[in-house]
Structure 1
Amino acid sequence: MTDARSPHQSPESAGTENAGAPLHRPGIKSYVIRAGRTTQAQTRGLMNIWPRLGLNVADGLQDLDTLFGRRAHRVVEIGFGMGGSLIEQAETHPETDFIGIEVHAPGVGKLLDEADKRGLTNLRVYREDALAVLEQCLPPGSIDTLQLFFPDPWPKKKHHKRRIVQPAFVELIRSRLAIGGHFHLATDWEPYAEWMAETVGQTPGFANTADASTAPYVPRPAFRPLTKFEARGEKLGHGVWDLIYRRVD
């Protein structure tokens, strides 16, 4: 394959990691914004729907109750790709508020267009570096669930420093989760799954929710939609590994 990703993994989901953020060494670029044609619907989302549902780091620290006009369960997803999974979650769970973070313009545009067509009011979007959003926009203890599905595995050893799952990143996630909140990771790259399990497992304040029979992994929960890439991979016999950690401290 020409890309260093498995064939059923969304390439856009890599667009969540940034070299300039404080948690990464200066000069290291840990994501690639892939070029792609923007459709009319995606352009509509970026131009017409963004003013209503889009957020910027420059907006500063958010009061999420004010932002959504209510107090609800809060889910943040880093790297939603083309947005299909996040749209499905927001539509299925109107009682929950969702914030998506993605740098890939066509994916952001598609998500916004779909959200508008379906009349969703429980979804907001950042087209920004996820690290900057976490550090500057989301208050400590404000998130109930943080989702990181299929980030770029950067499989070559010399590129491991570009992986978003690093000790400082995990500690930042922990600080933004409420006590009892969950950090849900998924990957179709087994060595990266092992890296995730080791990195999060060594971070104080987290407890793995897996049963002893499957630890450190959990079966794919019903609430995580099956992506088209994952479905294609299952047909080809590829594995997917889910990990869910609970903040206990």
Structure 2
Amino acid sequence: MPQAHKVTFSKKPKSFVTRRGRITSNQRNALDSLWNQYIVSEVSDIKEFISGKYTLLDIGFGAGETLISLAESRKDFRVLGAEVYLSGIGSVLSKADNLKLKNIRIVNEDAEDLLRQKIPDHSIDVVLMFYPDPWPKRKHHKRRLIKKEFIKLLNSKLKTGGIFYFKTDWKDYFNEVSCLFKEDSDWKELSLQELGEHLINMPSTSFEKKAMKAKRLLNTKIVEKVN
């Protein structure tokens, strides 16, 4: 039996502020006992996991509702999650273990670094990014993950016909992202109804439910890579 991984907090990433938030005993136990089973960090392990398979990448998956739902409903898919917060990772590891899911892997690092350094080109079918930090203050807009350079990076990692699915409750961020994709002829906008059932029927996330309860407007951008 492999030795349990003792978790340490990772360094501050580029587009997130790493906070030492409360980790429950269940999350901590999952992190310590299941880390070696579900966490991947080596390029070779990531390539082996996604090779030849329909693959979804969930960036900043939070409590993991979307990640778990996709993996449970489509066991023929490969579901890769990128998250910097250990509390969310602990929750996902516990749920994945309880459901005996074999088609999930987690990467505990910044999504841009992951895409740039470890994801093979033209290997991903769907990238999900639901409710990333909008960095609302103007002086912090440079910290927003979605910029022209990031969109080019996404394009290089998605297969032709691949999907980028973005949600935010911050209208300014939505408008900025919409303009960036509109200016790029390598992408075509899609409606939700044009997606597969596995993407149409995803559950609401805990963050989404809070936003709806607070009557914040939810904005969605779905684009397909055409070139």
Q: What range describes the TM-score normalised by the shorter chain of this pair?
A: 0.7 to 0.9
Q: Distance in 2 between matches of 1:133 and 1:178?
A: 17
State the aligned residue count.
Answer: 211
- After TM superposition, list the pairs within 5 Å mapping 1:86-235 onto structure 2: 86-210=67-191, 222-235=200-213
Check whether the contact 1:188–1:240 (CA below 8 A) recurs between aligned residues.
yes
Matched residues in 2 for 1:88 and 1:155: separation? 30
C-alpha root-mean-square deviation of aligned residues, in Å? Answer: 2.0
Q: CA deviation at 1:179?
A: 0.2
Shift of 1:96: 1.3
Bigger helix share: 2
Once residues 232 and 105 of structure 1 are traced to their aligned partners in structure 2, the CA distance between those partners, rounded to angstroms, is 21
In 1, Cα distance between the equivalents of 2:43 and 2:104?
18
SS of 1:164 mapped into structure 2? coil
Flag the 1:172–1:61 CA change in 2: closer, same or farther, 3 A: farther
Partner of 2:200: helix, strand, or coil? coil
Amino acid aligned to 2:49: L
> What amino acid maps onto 1:126 in structure 2?
V
1:53 paired to 2:38: yes
Structure 2: 5+ residue stretches without partners: 1-9, 193-198
Partner of 1:18: 13
User: What is the CA-CA distance between 1:232 and the residue it aligns to?
Assistant: 2.9
Aligned residue number for residue 49 of structure 2: 67
Q: CA deviation at 1:97?
A: 0.9
Task: Please report the TM-score for the alignment, with normalisation by the length of structure 1.
Answer: 0.79
- Identity of matched residues, %: 33
Letter in 2 for 1:60: V
The CA distance in 1 between the partners of 2:101 and 2:140, in whole Å, is 38
Contact 1:142 1:176 in 2 (8 A): yes
